[in-house]
Structure 1
Amino acid sequence: MSPMIYTLYGFAIFFFVFWCGKWLIHLLAISYGKYKLHKKVCNAPRETPLPGVSIMKPLMGTDPNLAPNLETFFTMNYPEYELLFCVEDPGDPAVDVVQNLLNKYPYIDARLFLGGSNVGVNPKINNMYPGYQAAKYGFIMISDSGIRMKDDTLLDMVNHMSDKVALVHQMPFTCDRDGFAATFEKIFFGTVQSRIYLSADFLGINCHTGMSCLLRKSVLDELGGISAFGCYLAEDFFIAKALTDRGWKMRISSQPALQNSGFCDIGSFQGRLTRWAKLRVAMVPTTILLEPLAECMIVGAFASWSVSFLFGWDSLVFYLIHILMWFLSDWILLSIVQNGSLPFNKFEFVVGWLFREISGPYLFLHALWNPAIRWRTRVYKLEWGGVAYELSAGVKTSPTTSLPPAASLCKEKS
């Protein structure tokens, strides 16, 4: 055979093996999700009392669901915790929302911190830093403003914090809301995101998102505290990496994080997806090749050509069966993550699923084409390795400007 035929055989075998690997991930996510998620919280007596937890809530702006979301933190079934609300701008409307809740629940240990600090380029860390310094408990929980808690969520997270674990995080998901945009979000987080998240947790791969996580403060302090990660926009990824590099383990909670933003539209959510893709490309460059290839429509097309070339199978029939099986496996996984009736019918799922699968590759290419990251009113540029700097009138500023000496992790990357 000619060298060209050998090359084609090599590509065909690669794509077929890659396709088989994707199906192993499907099966792993479904099996592990059924085993891991939505376990009942154990209320049996403990040999040691439950540890206190300092919960940091970085806030910016408000929406119709902010007050009810924050209120769920005041009514949790947990014996000892404090709430540390952090708002960078004293004139932010979130201040009034927090103040109303402080007046409504005067018996809850809660404080409001205004002004933030300049310890890096990451606005979330700058916002949280005063609250972090004032935290009095040995465990820190970082929770985004749009998260809604169940009564026993914090107890479930603490129960996962064993002696060898330094980080417990929740898998991102969404509350039930009305409208196609909400359906689209739930489908994404319950299929694409959950498949990767569950598989990564089982295999011990860093797939941490920091929207809701519990950390050992002593271990984080050894790393320089949260300010040591102020040069990264994806501080959650690098915190998890630093912990695991030092031999600590991380686990996901059995309860997914319930995002419940009051504003839900396709454009803003696709903007989030694009921003996350830019971060992944900067942190893990192999994403440029592997992520598009892992999409249902793309990997199915390559696999269809492979089986036609290797085995003489009908490529069109194979492709259609591939899409149908992918669709059914995503429905099964979403049902497992939801753990109850879905707020939309099967037709709405078909439309939302197809929209996600078709738009996914486009959003990724868009992220590659324009690598600058817009986060609220600010624009950032990422260097390889994940270090970020803010763009200001086209002038590059040092990614380690204003960082304390503890932030050597950033300096090593810059």
Structure 2
Amino acid sequence: MVPMLYTLYGFAIFFFIYWCAMWLIHLVAIFYGKYRLHQKVVQLDSETPYAGVSIIKPLMGVDPNLFSNLETFFTMTYPKYEILFCLEDDTDPAIMLVRSLMEKYPKVDAKLYLGAGSVGVNPKINNMNKAYDAVSYEFVLISDSGIRMKEDTLQDMMRYMSENTALVHQMPFTSDRDGFAGTLEKIYFGTAQSRIYLAADFININCHTGMSALIRKSVLDEDGGLKTFGCYLAEDFFMAKALKDKGWKMRICSQPALQNSGICDVNSFQARLTRWAKLRVAMLPLIVIMEPLSECMVIGLGAAWAVNVLFKWDVLGFYLIHILMWFICDWILLSIVQNGSLPFNKFDFVVAWLFRECSGPYLFLHAIFDPEIKWRSRIYKLAWGGVAQEIKPRIKF
């Protein structure tokens, strides 16, 4: 009986400590986000030269927002940069769109590279490798097709590229978009994602996502360049790890990345979250335990049971107060990340927030029990450590 009692109290203490740790992360994200994000961009004086930046844009297909997203890269105020567009298929309709922008902005140094290499299983790396080998500048910005830029975003990123820094990245966020899916995306990236992202950056843990990342090319080339990471699907994580292992710093800039893909629906968004969860589990197996316990509903249940065992507090009352306080903190954090009025009302926030919090654990379990990763028309299997292998889809008779 005594060993069972010790075990019971041990689990209760674990859940209570983990719950306290999650609240600490929440508070760190709020205060650090307030300090770190949306700082005013200071112009360099006329005598200070700007370092050149090569922007690599891997593209595949056209969506309704692609033209306007790409146009924001042609209208930036940064004085010295080039844009290298990459398409693996020479019949891709995005080619005509890119050429029309190049004709509209002839003063912008832009080039088009067709045909993918074959340096690994990662199609994004294969698509970008030819352009990477042709860049003109030391600093390389890898930017996904769905990203929008403000006029001073590149300047904001370069401001954080100090002498001991090799990677500056934008924290993922979204543009304002209509509909439930747009609200759901903004809430996820402005709460669950930004909470972990800001806390990880604060304590200098690798939290890098590669949708908008500025890299010091000479340091990456010491490991063989971009092609070295073609064996991974989560190339962004392993590039950041390689730079960090060499002693270089990585930082987020003050402007979040504005994702603005033309495809915005709940199914596509949840499929994306599931794919990311599969990658995290393969790279960091401890995530199997830690990530579910970071969810509001899950850790709240564990903590409510724990305080009942330890302090005889009411389970239901504690759980409801926990959810309410988590909800309020998420609203505050999202407002900080948004840096302005939200494009939806409080009722929409409540509905989408509850949907996200309740569906999060289910999506994670789905990722655990269905480990194959579907990315566009390809299917991959991951080994422990994150190395990917493309597999052929089964033929049904």
Give me the TM-score of the superposition, normalised by structure 1.
0.94
Offset of residue 131 of structure 1: 0.5
Partner of 1:350: 350
Aligned-pair CA distance for 1:162: 0.3
Query: Aligned letter for 2:204?
Result: G
| Corresponding position of 2:126 | 126
Correspondences of 1:61-80 after superposition (within 5 Å): 61-80=61-80
Instruction: Give the Cα separation in 1 of the matches to 2:214 and 2:125.
Output: 16
Q: Deviations over 1:313-337 (max 9, x none)?
A: 1111000000000000000000000
Q: For residue 88 of structure 1, what is the aligned residue in structure 2? A: 88
Match of 1:307 in 2: 307
Partner of 1:146: 146
* 8 Å Cα contact 2:126/2:230 also seen in 1: yes
Contact residue 181 and residue 265 of structure 2 kept, 8 A? yes
Q: Which residue of 1 aligns with 2:263?
A: 263
Show the 5 A alignment for 1:8-407. Answer: 8-45=8-45, 48-392=48-392
AA at the equivalent of 1:33: G
1:164 deviates by: 0.5
CA distance in 2, matches of 1:44, 1:145: 29
Deviations 1:270-294 (A, max 9, x none): 0000000000000000000111111
Q: Which runs of 5+ in 2 are unaligned?
A: none
Corresponding letter in the other structure for 1:227: K
SS of the residue 2:291 aligns to: helix
1:84 partner SS? strand
CA distance in 2: counterparts of 1:217 and 1:345, whole angstroms: 44
- Cα deviation digits, residues 228-286 of structure 1 (max 9, x gap): 00000000000000000000000001000000011100000100000000000000000
Quote the offset at 1:48 in angstroms.
3.9
Query: Which amino acid letter does the alignment assign opposite residue 116 of structure 2?
Result: G
Q: For residues 296 and 320 of structure 1, what CA distance do their matches in structure 2 show?
A: 11
Distance 1:130 1:315, change over 3 A: same
Displacement of 1:44: 4.0
Q: 1:266–1:129: structure 2 CA closer, same or farther, 3 Å change rule? A: same
What is aligned with 1:406? Answer: none
3-state DSSP of counterpart to 2:86:
strand
Aligned length: 395
Q: In the alignment, residue 160 of structure 2 is paired with which amino acid?
A: H
Q: Distance in 2 between matches of 1:104 and 1:132?
A: 25
> Is the Cα contact below 8 Å between 2:119 and 2:227 reproduced in 1?
yes
Runs of 4+ in 1 over 4 A off after TM superposition: none
> Which whole-Å deviations, capped at 9, do the CAs of 1:372-413 have from their partners, x for residues lacking one?
000000000000000001002569xxxxxxxxxxxxxxxxxx
Determine helix, strand or coil for the equivalent of 2:107. coil
Higher mean C-alpha displacement, 328-337 vs 36-45: 36-45
Please give the root-mean-square deviation of Cα atoms over the aligned residues, in Å.
1.1
One-letter amino acid matched to 2:155: L
**What is the rounded CA distance, in whole Å, between the counterparts of 1:218 and 1:328 in structure 2?**
45
1:46 positional shift: 7.0
Q: Structure 1, residues 53-86: CA drift from partner, whole Å, max 9, x if none?
A: 0000000011110000000000101010000000
Deviation at 1:15, TM superposition (A): 0.4
Write the deviation string for residues 184-209 of structure 1: whole angstroms up to 9, x where unpaired: 00000000000000000000000100
Letter in 2 for 1:361: P
The SS at the match of 2:242 is helix
Separation in 1, partners of 2:149, 2:237: 23
1:49 CA drift (Å) = 1.2
Amino acid across the alignment from 1:85 = F
C-alpha distance after superposition, 1:336-388 (max 9, x if no partner): 00000000000000000000000000000000111000000000000000000
Specify the SS of the correspondent of 1:163. Answer: coil
Task: Give the distance between the partners of 1:357 and 1:97, measured in 2 at CA.
Answer: 39
Tell me the SS of whatever aligns to 2:133. helix
Instruction: Percent identity, please.
Output: 70
Tell me if the contact between 2:379 and 2:393 (Cα under 8 Å) persists in the aligned partners: no
Aligned to 2:3: 3
Mapped to 2, the partners of 1:187 and 1:274 lie a distance apart of 17
Q: Which amino acid aligns with 2:22?
A: K
Change (3 A) 1:2 1:267: same
The equivalent residue for 1:405 is: none
Counterpart amino acid of residue 64 in structure 1: P
Give, in whole Å, the separation in 1 of the partners of 2:112 and 2:350: 44
Q: Distance between the aligned counterparts of 1:394 and 1:377, measured in 2?
A: 13
In 1, are the aligned partners of 2:284 and 2:385 still within 8 Å (CA)? yes
Q: After TM superposition, give the deviation of residue 47 of structure 1 in Å.
A: 6.3
Shift of the 49–368 alpha-carbon distance from structure 1 to 2, 3 Å rule, reads same
SS of the residue aligned with 1:72? helix
- How many Å separate the matches in 2 of 1:259 and 1:178? 14
Q: Aligned equivalents of 1:202 and 1:74: distance in 2?
A: 33
TM-score, normalised by the number of residues in structure 2:
0.98
Bigger Cα displacement from structure 2, 319-328 vs 100-109: 100-109
Indicate the larger mover: 98-107 or 31-40: 98-107
- 3-state SS, counterpart of residue 176 of structure 1: coil
**Separation in 1, partners of 2:117, 2:394:** 24
